[in-house]
Amino acid sequence: MTVEIGLLLLIIVIALVLFALERLPVDVIALGVMIALILTRLVTPDEAFSGFGSSTVLLIFGLLVQTEALSRTGVVDYAGRLIFRYTGSSPNRVLIIVMVSSAVLGAFMSNTASTAFFVPLVIGIARRAHLSPAKLLMPLAFSSILSSSVTLVSTSSNILISGLMTNYNLAPMGMFELAPVGIPIVIVGVAYMYFIGKRIIPDRFEPAEIEGGLSSRLYISEIVISPESPFIGKTLGESSLGRDLDLRVMRIVRDKKRYLVPHADQVLQEMDELLVEGGRDEILKVKTMNGADIKADVKLGDPDIQLDDLGMIEGLILPGSPLIGRTLNGIRFRDRYGLQVLAINRHGRALRRKLSLVRLELGDALLIQGEPERIAQLERDDIIRILETNDPHIPNPGRARTAIAIFLLSLVLAVLNVVPLAVAMVIGTILVFLTRCITPEEAYRNIEWKALILIGSMLALGVAMDKTGTATYIAAMIVSLVGGLSPLLLLTAFFIVTVILTQPMSNQAAAVVIIPVALQTALQLHFDPRPFAMMIAVAASCSYMTPLEPSCLLVYAPGRYKFADFLKVGTLLTGLIFVVAICIVPLVWPLTP
């Protein structure tokens, strides 16, 4: 062992201890590791910083932008509602559908892309079903990774290994050659997460957050059926207003004075006003519908004001507020303050009168839209207390097909090897900007920069392991210990060392280091090298024990996980995958020619 190898191993041990203790943010620890590598001269500054311009960072960046574009155009929300119709609020049904869907998708595309697509969708489903996102996001990431051993194109490390095999006069890996071991791994892995994994995943969400926080409190609002609306003449059931928007229709007001009890056979008429109950985001989606409008929007006073220029807040009525005991009509709220009240929440109690006729009470929450300066003045005058300033996230369904087409185009370019996956995702990012599916400002505001900093910094560790010869040293040491023993023990040794190296290094880097050592060892001992290549392909995808795998990074922050959570849940899963692989690989690919 050289001094450089010993120093690097010490840095890795210290980093793992800090990650486990979580006294510091993970991105800060990763930056510290990168600086330590530079100060000890294990890597040059250029080598250390090269990770931030790597294909992995650009891949995650492109995926985050494109999935945010899918979310902004309403695609993710629509897919979530579609899935929720079949799963309902059953936690077990939601979990199995999420895992199977991500595993199937992950078998034919990058597991990172599969996870990125499902993350916002799963968060939305969790909110609708009142489930903790933590119980769904880690199974989502793990199930996407599980299918990496089903097809050749499931992960780029399979393609890389296939190319390396040809250097040893081996036939390249077939498209479905790994399926005999990959499919059982998916079945065992999904079953483990369903029966065991979900029980040991920590949940750090407060009950109030799961049931609905400030941004998901239930409001009462008014929807107007506009002239020439496609809903005119249809029954309430046929219109699917409540089902498609996740809104509950409380009352129908006709001719401004007739209050009708809503039922599925009630025929809608022009200018009917529907009192509806739902979350803030669900109410705001009415703005994107053809044939219905929020009543307050219909009555916007200044035609020169554009909706894009308006702010939106949730405000609480304070003691002493002049609004207490008054109605919006009586106090002439819109004329006096130049603002619109879109919806009202009253401690969870249902309001069944027109909003303009409801007498406001202390503690009522109002969803208010208007010019930011007028809203700020409302708080300065102690009329309301701003609870939350909202980015309304109003979907733009007119761009939905464009966003889907761009996302699919990116995947097709990558699957057909026209360009690398990272390049395809950057091309897609440029296209969603140019087609206005999302603006750069919206995208940059919602990107999880912590994930990019973490992986950009930790890639320096992989460079150091390769440059100092640490990876080769570990592989050679294990081979020297078990090389003369049973071939099954040799397969086991290569599986273990590949899994170990895959945690701090990328899957591809670990494969590049291990494959030559494994295939050369097999040839020297007169074993067929093909089963060794297949075993390493399976092991290179076992990135469950740390959140450094891109798919795991995508769920790390939204699920409020800690570094040790992946070690706790992922270690047993890795053990199960090994058992499956060591039983099947020698049967499908015999060790002796």
Residue pair 80/124 in contact (Cβ under 8 Å)? The answer is: yes
| pLDDT per residue as tens digits for the range 542-558 | 989 988 788 888 888 78
| pLDDT per residue as tens digits for the range 225-273 | 888 888 898 888 887 776 666 677 888 888 877 888 888 888 899 889 8
CA end-to-end distance (rounded Å), the chain: 35
Task: Return the HEC string of 506-568.
Answer: CHHHHHHHHHHHHHHHHHHCCCCHHHHHHHHHHHHCCCCCCCCCHHHHHHHCCCCCCHHHHHH
What is the band of 385 on the pLDDT scale with cuts at 50, 70, 90? confident
What is the band of 304 on the pLDDT scale with cuts at 50, 70, 90? very low
Question: What is the per-residue pLDDT for 214?
Answer: 39
What's the rounded mean pLDDT across residues 142-171?
Answer: 84
Question: What is the per-residue pLDDT for 302?
Answer: 44
304 or 16: which leads in pLDDT: 16
Q: Which of 124-128, 302-306, 423-427 has the highest mean pLDDT?
A: 423-427
Question: What is the per-residue pLDDT for 370?
Answer: 83
Torsion of CA 258, 262, 266, 268, to 10 degrees: 60
What is the band of 484 on the pLDDT scale with cuts at 50, 70, 90? low
Say whether pLDDT at 448 is over 50.
yes
What are the distances in angstroms from CA 222 to CA 293, 342, 345?
8, 8, 13
Say whether pLDDT at 351 is over 60.
yes
What is the band of 531 on the pLDDT scale with cuts at 50, 70, 90? very high
Q: Which residues contact 197 (CB under 8 A, 6 or more apart)?
A: 138, 139, 142, 569, 572, 573
174 or 472: which leads in pLDDT: 174
What is the full DSSP assignment across 28-97? Answer: HHHHHHHHHHHHTTSS-HHHHHGGGGSHHHHHHHHHHHHHHHHHHTTHHHHHHHHHHHHHTT-HHHHHHH
Question: What is the per-residue pLDDT for 402?
Answer: 93
| pLDDT per residue as tens digits for the range 66-88 | 878 887 887 777 777 777 777 77
Say whether pLDDT at 356 is over 50.
yes
What's the rounded mean pLDDT across residues 419-430?
Answer: 87
Mean pLDDT computed over every residue of the chain: 82
User: In this structure, what DSSP letter does residue 265 have?
Assistant: T
Token representation of residue 99: 């895992």
Going by C-alpha positions, the residue among 506, 502, 490, 475 that lies closest to residue 591 is: 490
192 or 164: which leads in pLDDT: 192
Question: What is the per-residue pLDDT for 483?
Answer: 60
Other beta carbons within 10 Å of 169: 8
Residue pair 71/415 in contact (Cβ under 8 Å)? The answer is: no
Q: Which of 69-78, 434-443, 503-512 has the lowest mean pLDDT?
A: 503-512
Other beta carbons within 10 Å of 196: 13
500 or 573: which leads in pLDDT: 573
Say whether pLDDT at 145 is over 90.
yes
What's the rounded mean pLDDT across residues 391-410?
Answer: 78
What's the rounded mean pLDDT across residues 278-293?
Answer: 75
| pLDDT per residue as tens digits for the range 308-343 | 456 778 888 878 889 999 998 889 888 888 888 888
Cα–Cα distance for residue pair 82/301, rounded to 1 Å: 37
What is the band of 19 on the pLDDT scale with cuts at 50, 70, 90? confident
User: In this structure, what DSSP letter does residue 313 have?
Assistant: E
Question: What is the per-residue pLDDT for 544?
Answer: 93
What is the full DSSP assignment across 465-510? Answer: HHHTTHHHHHHHHHHHHHTTS-HHHHHHHHHHHHHHHHTTS-HHHH
Question: What is the per-residue pLDDT for 152?
Answer: 81
| pLDDT per residue as tens digits for the range 461-473 | 778 877 888 867 8
